[in-house]
Amino acid sequence: MKDNVIIMDTNILFAGLYSSAGASFQILKRLYDREITPVISTTLLFEYEDVLKREQTILELSHHQVDVILDNICALSYFQDIFFLWRPYLKDPKDDHVLEVAVASKTKTILTHNIKDFRETDKFGIKAITPGQYLEAIK
């Protein structure tokens, strides 16, 4: 996979939809412009849906708007099946599925605001970085 292929942790999606002022929004814009290709799995997509629908009032989105956003993410993403689980591995077991999709797809970059939860990913040759660090690196 190319350098423009990433795994997007749910907190990036939430932050990008919450505010247009930050790096997370710039990541979403680049996804839409097809400059970056996200990789998703069924589990990651369900997590996106759970968080966005739970927080739709804060995000000022309707149920239908969340569905449209998720449909667009699916259309812009590479879908990766997961055949081998790496659980438990990370500090926060709720993040293991993010590592699993990165390993299965051979994606080298996970974008997250929770770097400390992904410290062990370097053992797989995967970097966990913030959206700001990623944008700076691809300039």
- Per-residue pLDDT tens over the stretch 28-78: 999 999 999 999 999 999 999 999 999 999 999 999 999 999 999 999 999
> Is 90 exceeded by the pLDDT of residue 3?
no
Res 6: pLDDT? 97
Cα-flanking dihedrals φ and ψ of residue 34, to 5°? 65, 30
* 98's tokens: 């993010």
Res 42: pLDDT? 95
Q: Are 96 and 28 in contact (CB under 8 A)?
A: no
The number of distinct structural domains making up the chain is 1
Res 97: pLDDT? 87
Q: Which domain holds residue 133?
A: 5-137
Q: What is the CATH number of the domain that holds 69?
A: 3.40.50.1010
Res 16: pLDDT? 98
Q: How many CB atoms lie within 10 A of CB 69?
A: 18
Res 1: pLDDT? 42
Cα radius of gyration rounded to whole Å, the chain:
14
Res 93: pLDDT? 63
Q: Are 87 and 66 in contact (CB under 8 A)?
A: no
* 91's tokens: 């500090």
